[in-house]
Structure 1
Amino acid sequence: MLQDLDKLATRIRQVVALLQQARSESETRAARIAELEHRCRDMQEQAARDSKALALANKQLAEHEQGLQAARLESDRVRQDLESRLQDHQGRSQALQNQLDRTVTERDRLIDVATGAQQQIELILERLPGAEN
C-alpha cells in the first residue's frame, strides 16, 4: 500500500506540475492576447486617424482642383478677351497702315504736282519781260 501511495503522490506531483505548467502557459497566452488586443486597438485608432487624414487630403485635393478649374476658366476667358482685343488692334493698325499708305501716295503725288507747278511758274517767270537771266 505504501507503494501505491508513493505512486499516487508521484502522480499527484505530476498532475500539479502539469497544472502549474498549464496555468503558466495560460497566463502567458492571456498576457499575449492582452498585448495583441492593445496593439489591435492602437492599429484601429491609427487607421481611423489615417482615414480622417485621407478624407481631409481628398477634400483639399477636390478644393484645389476646383480652384484650378476656376483659374483655367478665368485664364481662357482672359485669353479670349486679349485675343479679341488683339484682333481689334490689328484691324485698326491695318486700317491706319492703309490710310498712311494712301496719305504717303497722295503726298508723293502732291509733291510731284507742286514740283511740276513750281517748274511751270519758273518757266512763266523766265518768259516775263524784265526777268533776270
Structure 2
Amino acid sequence: MIKILPLIPFILALSACAVDGTATTGQTNTNQNTAQQLGVTALKIAINAKCTTELNNTAAWKVASQVMTTEQQQNAQNQVCGCVSDKAIENVNVVDLATAAFDPAARTSIATKAINNTVQACVAESLKR
C-alpha cells in the first residue's frame, strides 16, 4: 500500500486529463452545433429582411403589386422571401453559418450572396402557383 501512495497523484492527474478531454470534445461539438443553429436563424432573418427590401425595390414588383390587394402583396412577398430564405440556407457552408451567428457585417454579405443565388428561382416558382 505504501508503494502505491506516491502514484496516486499521478493516477489522479491522468484520469482528470482523460475526463477533461472527453468533456471538452463533447462541449466543442455542442458549441459548434449551437453556433450553426444560431447562424441559420440569424441568416434566415437577415435574408428575409434583405429579400423584402430587394423585392419592394424591384420595378416588376412595383408594377405587379399595384393590381394586388395588401393581403395578396403580403402573401406573395411571404412566398417569395420564405422560399429565398429556405433555399439560400442550402447554399451556405458551415463556416459561413457559424460566422453569421456572431458577425453582423458578414451576415449581411452572406445574406446578399445567398439571395442573389436564389431569388430568381423563387420568383419563378411563386409565379407557377
Task: For CA contacts below 8 A with separation 6 or more, give which structure has more relative contact order.
Answer: 2
- Computing the radius of gyration from Cα coordinates, the structure with the larger value is 1
TM above 0.5, yes or no, is no
Greater helix share, 1 or 2?
1
Q: TM-score range by the shorter chain?
A: 0.3 to 0.5
TM-score (norm 2): 0.40
